Amino acid sequence: MKTVFVAGHRGMVGAAIVRNLEKRGGVHIITRTRAELDLTCQQAVSEFFANNNIDEVYLAAAKVGGIHANNTYPAEFIYENLMIEANIVHAAHANDVQKLLFLGSSCIYPKLAEQPMTEKALLTGTLEETNEPYAIAKIAGIKLCESYNRQYGRDYRSVMPTNLYGPNDNFHPENSHVIPALLRRFHEAAQRGDAEVVAWGSGKPMREFLHVDDMAAASVHVMELDKATYDENTEAMLSHINVGTGEDCTIKELVETVAKVTGFKGNIVWDTTKPDGTPRKLMDVSRLHALGWKHTYNLEDGLKHAFDWFLENQDNFRG
Ligand code: GFB
């Protein structure tokens, strides 16, 4: 039975990957909490790989957050992500782990990339300033994988998800992404019977959203593709694959759907002192579709599922 290390299993994506792998069965899954293994510590990561006979790695550990967190803690976003990736990718190689899947983000693409964004848009323009440090770290992660593949013949793949949401999300009022922030704020406003609720920015930016269970399924799908099929659909210097739905909506439309799902009936006030971020970042998912994977959740059903999870877990979620 192969041994699979899921780095970041307490996070939203890592937890979903563990659920997916457990459901499929037939693998031995290894996880470590932050207290057990500090992924930013090179020596600890080296020793962990040397002491465990790992066959495959899902690299879902990362410092993540929404537009405000990225803009407020740029040092942590670049430092922690670079360290985690460099330590894990190098230790995997040094201990002869042949397969690894690195998880990035759609913010690796230029702020004004042509829409929808194909994998070829990488490094063709200037990044969005609110999350440039995070994006640079994620681009470095892709290039780490490509470099070990080129020089040492490793099979380290990368997937770049669009904005994700779902169970185990971070519902912090300021530092979270837009969906968890709005689900919580609208729910609390509905409970109190507030007449209005505040959403950030102009409402005009467009975003694409993918349920995390779909992301986990796509990650396992890409990891399990045979090498010849993967290689045929990627290129030596562009070996990452976009993961998304290929459909987007305005933040205003998202807000209206969140109001419907949470039962909030009052007015929405836009706080235009908050940043909008990238105007649009729609993924071109044709490479992923050609590789035989498509999402299952539409946005409203996905939001209902995430909201149910929130209601069941609101007493013990993070933030
Ligand atoms: O999800 P979000 O923080 O991330 O914000 P980004 C998306 C959009 O929602 C922005 C608006 O236009 C926000 O102004 N928005 C409206 C809100 N109300 C709220 C709110 O209450 N909270 C939040 N957070 N936003 C992140 C990157 O960018 O996307 C990360 O900073 C990462 O690096 C992630 O790539 C996927 O899509 O703008």
Report all structural domains of the chain as residue ranges with CATH numbers, in order of start: 2-165+209-243 (3.40.50.720), 178-206+247-281+298-317 (3.90.25.10)
Cα 67 to ligand 1 centre (Å): 4
Query: Which tokens in the block code for residue 161?
Result: 């998800």
To the question of whether residue 185 is assigned a binding role by annotation, the answer is: yes
Q: Is the pLDDT of residue 319 over 60?
A: no
Cα 177 to ligand 1 centre (Å): 5
Asked whether the bond before 116 is cis by omega within 30 degrees of 0, the reply is yes
Cα–Cα distance measured from residue 132 to residue 282, given in angstroms and rounded to the nearest whole number: 18
What pTM, to 2 d.p., does this model score? 0.96
CB of 129 sitting under 6 A from ligand 1: no
Pocket-testing residue among 77, 129, 165, 177, ligand 1, by greatest number of atoms within 8 A of Cβ: 177
| 76-88 pLDDT per residue, tens | 999 999 999 999 9
Averaged confidence pLDDT in the chain: 96
User: Packing angle between helix 251-262 and helix 178-192, nearest 10 degrees?
Assistant: 40
To the question of whether residue 164 is assigned a binding role by annotation, the answer is: yes
- Residue minimizing CA distance to atom 22 of ligand 1: 178
Active-site residue, selected from the candidate residues 58, 73, 109, 134: 134
Pocket-testing residue among 178, 186, 264, ligand 1, by greatest number of atoms within 8 A of Cβ: 178
Cα–Cα distance measured from residue 57 to residue 229, given in angstroms and rounded to the nearest whole number: 20
Q: Among 74, 150, 60, which Cα is nearest to 105's? A: 60
Query: What pLDDT was estimated at residue 11?
Result: 96
ipTM over 0.95 threshold: yes
Q: Among 25, 107, 92, which Cα is nearest to 59's? A: 92
Query: What pLDDT was estimated at residue 317?
Result: 62
**To which residue do tokens 């967190």 refer?**
69
Query: Which tokens in the block code for residue 235?
Result: 């290129």
To the question of whether residue 104 is assigned a binding role by annotation, the answer is: yes
Query: Which tokens in the block code for residue 172?
Result: 């912090």
- Residue minimizing CA distance to atom 15 of ligand 1: 200
Cα–Cα distance measured from residue 209 to residue 228, given in angstroms and rounded to the nearest whole number: 30
Cα–Cα distance measured from residue 33 to residue 74, given in angstroms and rounded to the nearest whole number: 24
Pocket-testing residue among 127, 128, 200, 273, ligand 1, by greatest number of atoms within 8 A of Cβ: 200
| 1-48 pLDDT per residue, tens | 999 999 999 999 999 999 999 999 999 999 999 999 999 999 999 999
| 98-151 pLDDT per residue, tens | 999 999 999 999 999 999 999 999 999 999 999 999 999 999 999 999 999 999
* SS3 category, 4: strand
Which residue type, as a one-letter code, is found at position 304?
A: K
CA distances from 319 to 39, 78, 177, 181, 274 (A): 22, 21, 12, 11, 20
Query: What pLDDT was estimated at residue 163?
Result: 97
Q: What is the mean pLDDT of residues 194-211?
A: 97
Show the DSSP H helices in the chain as ranges.
Answer: 12-24, 42-51, 67-72, 74-94, 132-152, 178-192, 212-224, 227-232, 251-262, 286-290, 299-313
CA distances from 214 to 191, 210, 245, 252, 262 (A): 30, 7, 9, 24, 22
CB of 170 sitting under 6 A from ligand 1: no
CB of 71 sitting under 6 A from ligand 1: no
Does the active-site annotation cover 134?
yes
What is 269-310 written as a DSSP string?
EEETTS----SB--B--HHHHHTT------HHHHHHHHHHHH
Cα–Cα distance measured from residue 243 to residue 229, given in angstroms and rounded to the nearest whole number: 17
Q: Which atom of ligand 1 is nearest to the CA of 69?
A: 31
Cα 59 to ligand 1 centre (Å): 23
Q: Among 299, 293, 280, which Cα is nearest to 210's? A: 299
